[in-house]
Structure 1
């Protein structure tokens, strides 16, 4: 308006905006009274004290958009999707298909997604120790076979055939 004031009060404008958004099929967040020193998380809907939030200098209020718990959950889901192309539900299906145990040791609970570093294809979900062991062997089947033979007591001693040429036992 020419006098610098709006034609409608704040509540009427907000109600009109809400009606227009709902007519478009969009959801409008309800305004919730929040005490000082607290913030409402849009994901879980809980009002929590600032001690349960991360600092964020770029946001208008100086706090992160989501509480610590919800933020960790969102980051975990985003990581699995970005790194492996899996949702958490798909990862849980893999674990259920393995009957809740590691594919290699068959005893520990699987926690780490294992994938081929060349193709990026997900192979399964392993326990920490087995996943670390595969990483130490750099996913080389020949090195893993030699290690298994060594552990089973089969001596792995190459025979010198010519200078610099060794023959491996069969």
Structure 2
């Protein structure tokens, strides 16, 4: 008798089903689970719900597609990054959700900010840069010595602070220069300059 077409009775639903309807279990005499796959899934769901845990419903996924656990959308493989270490060769989350998760992780790791705290900072600034008061606030500015977050700036103002190396004295001279009070240091000795007061 061929074991592949031999029927077997499920201990739970008491139906005679083909052997392919049962998962393998090496500790059993015939090498199969006592419950069929459907009964095993239902039993697992009931046990998890009894513990107060939620079990997500099984969603049919067509070939060439994958379901994202965050947005719960079924998307084609073109919406996923490759991942050689995963069992199916694709990342766990779709491109959009993965980018959002990486963004949240970056702000938490680098600045200690959650998305809600960042949104509050931007709202306190009315959504505009603290320095130029014109461009939208999009870049977190922080002190490179202490790591303390100072505010949210536009790209240009944040880059300008970096170019001035966060030195207030240099920025004050730059402001004086822009206001038309141009001055030049006086050479008093080789390599020694005197700055006007």
TM-score bin (small chain) = over 0.9
Cα-Cα RMSD:
1.2
- Indicate the SS of the match to 1:150: helix
What 5-or-longer segments of structure 1 have no aligned partner? none
Tell me how far 1:92 sits from its aligned partner: 1.2
Q: Among 8, 18, 25, which residue is 2:52 paired with? A: 25
**Alignment partner of 1:142 is 2:169:** yes
Larger RCO of the pair (alpha carbons < 8 Å, separation 6+): 1
Q: Highest Rg: 1 or 2?
A: 2
1:55-94 matched pairs, under 5 angstroms = 55-94=82-121
Aligned residues: 170
**Partners of 1:134 and 1:126 in 2: CA distance:** 10
Normalised to the residue count of structure 2, the TM-score between the two structures is 0.82
Match of 1:9 in 2: 36
Note if 1:111 corresponds to 2:176: no
Could you tell me how far apart the structure 1 residues matched to 2:56 and 2:116 are?
Answer: 27
- TM-score relative to the length of structure 1: 0.95
What is the CA-CA distance between 1:162 and the residue it aligns to?
4.2
Provide the residue aligned with 2:78 in structure 1: 51
Query: Does the 8 Å contact 1:149/1:156 carry over to 2?
Result: no
The reply to whether residue 128 of structure 1 matches residue 152 of structure 2 is no
List structure 1 runs of 4+ shifted beyond 6 angstroms.
none
**Inter-partner Cα distance in structure 2 for 1:19 and 1:84:** 42
